[in-house]
Amino acid sequence: MSRIFNFAAGPAVLPDSVLERIRDDLPDWQGRGMSVMEVSHRGKDFVEVAERAEQSFRRLLGVPAGYKVLFMQGGATAQFAAVPLNLAGVGDTACFLNTGQWSIKAIAEARRYVEVEVLTDEQASNYTTVPEATSIKVPGGAAYLHYTPNETIGGVEFPYVPNPGSALLVADMSSTILSRPIDVSKFALIYAGAQKNIGPSGLTVVVVREDLLGRARKLTPTVLDYAAMAAAGSMPNTPPTFAWYVAGLVFDWIDAGGGLEAMGQRNAAKAGMLYDYLDTSGFYANPVHPGCRSWMNVPFTLHRSELDKQFLLESRTAGLANLEGHRSVGGMRASLYNAMPVEGVKALIEFMQDFAQRHG
Ligand SMILES: *Cc1c(COP(=O)(O)O)cnc(C)c1O
């Protein structure tokens, strides 16, 4: 295989071995004479794939008893609506921590369904910070506290889990799920679009405390109703079967690599290498406060921003793809998800050193 290093923010890089396995499985999956994409989601063969993927995910993340794991559709964006529809009544208050672009989108969607109180807002730092843990005071009576542990666009990450007081804690983990071990028991609900650390787009994994099922508003669409999804084994209708199958392969790959403990160590090392270089280069800079820099998404700028286009052109030629920053912020961004090998980060730093030398 001739592969480049893909630093895209999402859909993002998948492990080589998973892609090779998919290639080998297609078009004759396990000797059935057809691909996994072509079999019924209700058939024994696919149900086995689906259940096994769920079990692997539960084991990897350490999901305790008393939580449901749902495989849903509509991306994280559908969850921006599903969360208030399932966890808050009309007129209830939901609290938010605003740390950047994905928080802002979650807040805007929630406002359609619930009274929103934004407890903290990092706008003053241009979203390069997270709030002090002690500054988060969730008012009594709030239905839930929603936050974004990793802001994919800004590259800002919480180094702690906020205290929701008596409210439920809800986290959009789209770009950080499975990047390290977490304590699921601290959360009422976790959701994540698959296309960063889990697999192909089209699948959203939701972990929800079982006692919260059955509270959805009457007008909630069935496919966004956690209780209805749980009752149907996440299949009230046709699920994204191919994405689900690939997710299972990715879970196996993480398992074979030592699970989330090992994954976390690798991710910390990868990000650390890049931040160390950015901070000492004199040619590049990362704007995020050092206490809350993301392991997954590393935005950076060139001091001579007139060289941005040249940087992108040359990096692509050097086999380093998709380094342009999000259209809303410009500059560069290197996403270092689980499937980005350490060799990719080393190659990026070497290229950056060389580019700086030639243009510095
Ligand atoms: C990518 C992303 C989303 C959007 O996911 P969709 O699947 O496109 O709806 C939401 N939140 C975060 C933190 C993300 O990284």
User: H or E element: which one contains 316?
Assistant: helix 308-317
| Ligand 1 atom 3 nearest Cα | 76
Mean pLDDT across the stretch 294-323? Answer: 97
Mean pLDDT across the stretch 42-56? Answer: 97
- What span, in angstroms and rounded, lies between the C-alpha atoms of 26 and 245? 12
Query: Is there a contact between 63 and 184 (Cβ–Cβ < 8 Å)?
Result: yes
pLDDT digits (tens, 9 = 90+) for 164-205: 999 999 999 999 999 999 999 999 999 999 999 999 999 999
| Region of residue 273 (left: phi > 0; alpha: psi -120 to 50; beta: else) | alpha
Q: What is the mean pLDDT of the chain?
A: 97
For residue 193 and ligand 1, the question of a CB distance below 6 A is answered with yes
Mean pLDDT across the stretch 91-104? Answer: 98
pLDDT of residue 360: 82
1: pLDDT strictly greater than 80:
no
pLDDT of residue 328: 80
> DSSP states of 169-211 as a string?
EEEE-TTTTTSS---GGG-SEEEEETTTTTSSTT-EEEEEEGG
For residue 174 and ligand 1, the question of a CB distance below 6 A is answered with yes
pLDDT band at residue 329 under the 50/70/90 scheme: confident
**Closest of 264, 274, 294, 259 to residue 344, by C-alpha:** 274
pLDDT of residue 235: 98
- β-bridge partners, 301: 285
Ligand 1 pocket mutation pick from 79, 103, 153, 175 by most atoms within 8 angstroms of CB: 175
Q: What percent of the chain has pLDDT over 70?
A: 100
Catalytic residues: 102, 172, 196
Mean pLDDT across the stretch 154-162? Answer: 98
pLDDT of residue 40: 96
Mean pLDDT across the stretch 66-88? Answer: 98
41: pLDDT strictly greater than 90:
yes
pLDDT band at residue 59 under the 50/70/90 scheme: very high
pLDDT digits (tens, 9 = 90+) for 196-241: 999 999 999 999 999 999 999 999 999 999 999 999 999 999 999 9
pLDDT digits (tens, 9 = 90+) for 245-265: 999 999 999 999 999 999 999
Torsional sign, CA 114, 120, 126, 132 = negative
Residues in Cβ contact with 273 at an 8 Å cutoff, skipping those fewer than 6 apart? 342, 345, 346, 349
For residue 155 and ligand 1, the question of a CB distance below 6 A is answered with no
Does this model's pTM top 0.75? Answer: yes
pLDDT band at residue 340 under the 50/70/90 scheme: very high
